[in-house]
Structure 1
Amino acid sequence: MIIAITSVLLGVGMLVPVVWSKLSASSPSHAGQGRDGLPEPTPAPPPPPPPPTLKAGPTIATPTTAKYFAWALMDRKTGEINGSANSATGTNSTESMIKAWIVSDFLRLKGTKVPTAAELKLTSTAIRDSNDNSAASLWSKVGKTKSIARLNSICGMNAKNYTKAPYAGWWSFTQITAQDVTRMGDCIISGKAAGEKWTEYVLTEMRNVRGLVTANTSSGKTGGGHWGIIDGLPENLIAGTSIKNGWTMLNYDASWHINCLAIHEDWVLSVQMRLPNKNFKSWLKGLQAGAAICKSVTMQLVYPQPEPSPSPSVSPSVQPSQQP
């Protein structure tokens, strides 16, 4: 009997480590567990940064080459307009920028009538190629300065016709503030300017403006207008942005009158300036400087600002040797 009891006790003693070993193997590890014994939740990854857009923020200095400079940005979600201190009071002649309104006004006035193929060509070339002859033809069809009166009443603006000879009544001399330019852009994309039927057509033509700054000559009645704001936008905004620039070196004050307009579903941006031509070595250099200013303003308004590129580190193997 003593031998039997001893065997049972030895058997139990050997069984306990085996059972404990099995229980330990089947139990979850305590590493990574919370106080209740459950696994700790995996931290959620941080949300991706918002896609870049334009947002008023930094104070943009007046370019040293400009005797007049203004900019304005409308947030179309809130209707708020921010800009330079003179953006609601200073004015510039619109030059070819106003062609976007003239085309819109013409198409809206057509009502239920379908424009002829010749008329549609005028509307397209007036915007895509900034063709002066096309714009002049449409200007006559919309009643000339009566069109500016409609611009003010429909878009809530205060643009003024130029009344001094010999440029009285010219569409290109219409005086407008930077803030009113954004209201005109909002009027176009909202559908008020061209009407529901033609709004997308106008915006598409503005997205297809063609020709670089170098496609312009001092005597040309048509030229390249694809420059300025569009060149300063992040890649994700370019395809959905419609533009129309205006530019002329006017002899009466020997200055470049330059306007940049860009329309996006979230915002409208305008930049205006007058640059004395004497500051530049050639006729084209003045226009190129204006295009660069429009681009620079845009880049300063990008939000969030892109992270600066890290400075390249110097490999120890190529560091200059130290002299004793």
Structure 2
Amino acid sequence: MSTSEGAAVPRWVSGADRAAVPSPAPPPPRVHVEHAGFLSWALLDRGTGRISGSANLAAPSDTMSMVKAWIAADYLRMAADGEISEARLRQLTIMIRDSDNAAAEALFEAVGRRASIERLIASCGLTESSAYGEWWSKTTISARDTVRLGACIADGRAAGPRWTDWLLDQMRQVRGAGDFGVRLTLPDPGRVAIKNGWLLRDEDKLWHISCLAITGEWVLGVLVRYPGTLGFDYGTALCEEVGRQAVAAV
């Protein structure tokens, strides 16, 4: 089941008015994936700004390491008028490529912790997201806000004009455990910038997984939570399959 944002296009118009009516938007992608637990997804068409997704695309979940893409962007934008040390660039690089938590803690401190998440919400126009104390990993987000975050990174609002291409390039070089999601199903995975989050939480014994993928044509967000007994690979496979179906019509 899917939903979408955007104005409806009249089905019938007179011959005189037909030329003035824009072409109908393509139907939203249809996605059907059997799953246990919670699953939400959204797809943003970067050409039109249209967002399609699951019926629960506004439902909240948490970011885990996905929010590291914002932490990096926030730091880079604020440092745009000055030089960034080699040590900081290395922290930024390993935080994105390797999802290094120590680097994330240092950079989150540098950008003001909770204040950075509040800037994320304001700068990227998020409507279903909130900070969680001083924890970056427990930032609340929806699938719809995930694609808004991705668009905010892609169009330069997040990191600024000087550093946006650099950040997207780091996101294309994610490696190790964090390299999963829709790009593994595509013929040219190297063009897809990603940042994923994953954690088996002690509080509820559920795997929490978040997937963000950005290309020149679209931004995809997938959020899942499911019983810990199913394992990590169960969730990465959900992100891959949802993404494969969602972007197939783009």
Q: What do the CA deviations read for 1:45-74 (whole angstroms, capped 9, x no partner)?
A: xxxxxxxxxx8421424x332x21100000
Is structure 2 residue 46 aligned with structure 1 residue 76?
Answer: yes
Structure 2 residue runs of 5 or longer lacking an equivalent are 1-26
Higher relative contact order (CA 8 A, sep 6+): 2
1:287 CA displacement: 1.1
> What value does the CA root-mean-square deviation take over the aligned residues?
1.4
Is structure 2 residue 243 aligned with structure 1 residue 271?
Answer: no
2:31/2:242 contact within 8 Å kept: no
Counterpart for residue 117 of structure 1? 86
1:304 CA displacement: 4.9
Q: Matched residue of 1:293: which SS?
A: helix
1:303 CA displacement: 3.1
2: distance between equivalents of 1:231 and 1:250?
26
Q: 2:35 aligns with which of 64, 68, 82?
A: 64
Q: Matched residue of 1:275: which SS?
A: strand
1: distance between equivalents of 2:32 and 2:185?
15
Say which is worse superposed, 241-250 or 152-161, in terms of deviation. Answer: 152-161
Q: What do the CA deviations read for 1:276-313 (whole angstroms, capped 9, x no partner)?
A: 113x3xxxxx11111101111122124359xxxxxxxx
State the identity %.
Answer: 41
Counterpart for residue 183 of structure 2? 230
1:56/1:73 contact within 8 Å kept: no
Q: Matched residue of 2:48: which SS?
A: coil
1: distance between equivalents of 2:240 and 2:80?
37
2: distance between equivalents of 1:103 and 1:150?
13
Structure 1 residue runs of 5 or longer lacking an equivalent are 1-54, 163-167, 212-223, 281-285, 306-324
> Whose strand proportion is higher, 1 or 2?
2
TM-score by length of 2: 0.86
Q: Which runs of at least 4 in structure 1 moved beyond 2 Å after TM superposition? A: 301-305
Is structure 2 residue 207 aligned with structure 1 residue 262?
Answer: no
1:193-232 counterparts in 2 under 5 A? 193-211=158-176, 224-232=177-185
TM-score by length of 1: 0.67
Q: 2:121 aligns with which of 133, 146, 152?
A: 152
Higher CA-based Rg: 1
Residue-pair matches, total? 223
Q: 2:238 aligns with which of 293, 297, 307?
A: 293
1: distance between equivalents of 2:44 and 2:90?
31
